Amino acid sequence: MKEENKKQAHQKLRSALKSQDTKIILQALSDLREEGSVSDISILLDLLLNSHDTQILHAVKNILIDIKETHAVGSIISAIENNTYSSIKKELVSVCWESRLNFSDHLNLFVDLLIHEDFIVSFEAFTVIENMSGNISQEEKDRQTQKLKDAISAVDEDRKRFLHEAIHMIQNISQEEI
């Protein structure tokens, strides 16, 4: 019975996040911070996408940053890759470097963002790479640095500096900092 009550409370919490009242949403976000799970990321992303209230946006982003469950990485990466969330891509990419989660398995994505996205998203991707540590094979490092070298001739001067620096950073990602 206790589990059923917990499910009902959680459902009530998720419903409160759909309220039109900022105070109700902020309280629900506060409660979600304590009792939420990775499965709640989708509703948080929808709030981030659809809300215009700076307090709500700030609270949602802070919850995403504070997630410690490693399987949340896949949900965040999926959102970055999903065109539905393109208007909040900058915020999603910044969550990657501001959180304590390890996104090193997705170096390829951040290199692509660095090369192809607008300057602001590119800068956020650069920062993710800059903060990356983990078990990245030398083959993957070489593949991504080659991709960056190939892109240098096709980008503007500001981006060239990012790409050159990213090449250096990728080759120096430490294996010990896992």
Decide if pLDDT at 1 tops 70: no
Tokens of 175: 């294996």
Is-contact 75 38, C-beta < 8 A? Answer: yes
**Per-residue pLDDT band at 14 (split at 50, 70, 90):** confident
Q: How far apart are CA 175 and CA 159, in angstroms?
A: 27
Tell me what the mean pLDDT of segment 139-159 comes to: 93
Is-contact 73 102, C-beta < 8 A? Answer: yes
| Average pLDDT value for the chain | 91
Q: How many CB atoms lie within 10 A of CB 29?
A: 22
Per cent of the chain over pLDDT 90 is 73
The 10s digit of each residue's pLDDT in 97-137 is 999 999 999 999 999 999 999 999 999 999 999 999 878 99
**Per-residue pLDDT band at 176 (split at 50, 70, 90):** very low
The 10s digit of each residue's pLDDT in 152-162 is 999 988 889 98
Q: How far apart are CA 34 and CA 52, in angstroms?
A: 24
**Per-residue pLDDT band at 178 (split at 50, 70, 90):** very low
Quote the pLDDT of residue 79: 97
Question: Taking the mean position of all CA atoms in its chain, how far away is CA 18?
Answer: 22
Quote the pLDDT of residue 44: 94
Decide if pLDDT at 11 tops 50: yes
Please state, in angstroms and as integers, the Cα–Cα distance from residue 162 to each residue in 117, 130, 172, following that order: 13, 10, 15
Quote the pLDDT of residue 131: 92
- HEC readout, 24-67: HHHHHHHHHHHHCCHHHHHHHHHHHHHCCCHHHHHHHHHHHHHC
Quote the pLDDT of residue 175: 59
Decide if pLDDT at 177 tops 60: no
Q: How far apart are CA 132 and CA 170, in angstroms?
A: 8
Quote the pLDDT of residue 32: 87
Tell me what the mean pLDDT of segment 48-52 comes to: 93
Q: What are phi and psi of 37, to 5 degrees?
A: -140, 175
**Per-residue pLDDT band at 165 (split at 50, 70, 90):** very high
In 56-153, the DSSP E strands lie at: none
CA angle 66, 71, 73 (to 5 degrees): 65
Q: Which residue has the higher pLDDT, 32 or 145?
A: 145
